[in-house]
Amino acid sequence: MSSDATTTETLESTNGNSISSVSQPLNDHPVKKDDDFDASNDEDEEEEEEDDENNDDDSVVSAPLAHLTLMNEEGIERMKLEEIAELVKTKSCNKIIVLSGAGVSVSAGIPDFRTPGTGLYDNLQKYDLPFPEAVFDLGFYRYNPQPFVSLARELWPGTSGIKPTLSHSFIRLLEEKDVLLRNYTQNIDGLEVLAGVSPEKMVECHGHFRSAGCVDCKAPYDGELCKRKILEGTLPLCTKCGGLVKPDIVFFGESLPSRFGRMIQSDLREADMLIVMGTSLKVAPVSLIPEIVDDDAPRLLLNRDLVGDFCQTRENMRRDVWEEGDCDVSVKKFCDLLGWTEELHKINKHS
């Protein structure tokens, strides 16, 4: 099975940090394997241990929430949501990277992939797979493409009445206000583009359904034709070599889209703010973006959980804001502060 194939990316920050990491396709939204999961955690732990050795203060704050109160008592001046809003409103920050994950699509009704019982992986019995992740495994697709074709038919963006959420519309609003540098999404549901975000403002880190290609000779295949075939329940085949065609979403055994590698370095150099929405930040290299963005860039986390290195050091506590809760609720609150509420709802109604 080719699912262990990996590529290595090196990400460098403007402050001289560089992180080499294994690029593992699929994520947060579609799938991830336990060994990758552990590898990423191990990396984090190693980094934390190094930090602890180098800096006693960091060891005090490396444990999560319990220490926040302590740190407040120590007089750390923390960024507030109102201040982040002001920076956006006045365009003092106008090159914002938004990093989004499954959480922005939950209220759209996109099935969660991993929740026991109700998640996608627990409901694939009808496809008789050897293991649930096989549905997104390139080696298995070559052996038996039918389960993926059936699933893709059910999930194809824009065909199932699934509509973009307020969170997707907020990203479009950032673009309309000319403050969005790029949206890196880990989702494959294409809802950002359906919400009206320009494809050039997007890096869909795990691909999308709009284009397609041959899994053997890699020849591009008409995206609309691929869609039509799959919705009919037939297999799209390469006109050049007769090989199997699939939409350009990243399977196990494939590297991330080349667009990710082309954009990430310059985007990280340019970015002056980071907004992270609805992701557990568990899978590299996307999960490393918050660590590499410029040290002076304020970082806003709209998420149910505190993730990554948000609020974990004195420096980060000064520039980080964690708005705890569901993305759409936090987006509404943030847009209220920005004075964008009316526009947000207008966009969402029409998207």
What residue ranges bind Zn ion (CB under 5 A)? 214, 216-217, 219, 238, 240-241, 243
Tell me the CA distances in angstroms from 168 to 56, 180, 336, one per residue in order: 41, 13, 16
Residue 217 or 235: which CB sits closer to Zn ion? 217
Residue 168 or residue 229: which is nearer to Zn ion going by CB? 229
Torsion, CA 164, CA 85, CA 286, CA 48, rounded to 10 = -140
CA of residue 77 relative to chain centroid, distance: 30
Q: Cα(82)–Cα(77) distance, rounded to whole angstroms?
A: 14
Residue with smaller CB distance to Zn ion, 48 or 216: 216
Pick between residue 158 and residue 243 the one whose CB is nearest to Zn ion. 243
User: For residues 237 and 306, which CB has a smaller minimum distance to Zn ion in the complex?
Assistant: 237
Integer Cα distance of 184 and 319 in angstroms = 21
Q: In this complex, which beta carbon is closest to Zn ion, that of residue 22 or of residue 219?
A: 219
Shortest Å, Cβ 237 to Zn ion? 8
Q: Report how far residue 222's alpha carbon sits from residue 243's, in angstroms, rounded to the nearest whole number.
A: 14
Phi, psi of 178 (to 5 degrees): 65, 35
The C-alpha atoms of residue 13 and residue 270 are separated, in whole angstroms, by 10
Q: What's the min distance (Å) between Cβ of 241 and Zn ion?
A: 3
List phi, psi (to 5°) of 192: -65, -50
Rounded distance between C-alpha atoms, residue 170 and residue 167, angstroms: 5
Q: How far is the CB of 221 from Zn ion (least distance, A)?
A: 8
CB of 142 to Zn ion, least distance (A): 12
Residue with tokens 């993926």: 148
CA distance 156 to 159: 6
Give ∠ CA 206-27-297 in degrees, rounded to 5: 85
CB of 243 or CB of 261, closer to Zn ion: 243
Q: Taking the complex as a whole, how short is the minimal distance between the CB of residue 218 and Zn ion, in angstroms? A: 7
Check if the beta carbon of residue 37 is closer than 8 Å to that of residue 31. Answer: no
206 given a catalytic annotation: yes
Q: How far is the CB of 217 from Zn ion (least distance, A)?
A: 3
Give strand pairing partners of 97: 182, 274
Three-state DSSP class for 199? helix
Q: Are 181 and 96 spatial neighbours (Cβ–Cβ below 8 Å)? A: yes
Q: Sign (positive/negative) of CA torsion 256, 189, 331, 61?
A: negative
Question: Per the residue annotation, which of 206, 208, 345, 350 is the catalytic one?
Answer: 206
Strand 245-249 vs strand 207-214: parallel, antiparallel, or unpaired? Answer: antiparallel
The distance of closest approach from Cβ of residue 47 to Zn ion in the complex, given in angstroms and rounded to an integer, is 42
Active site amino acids: 206
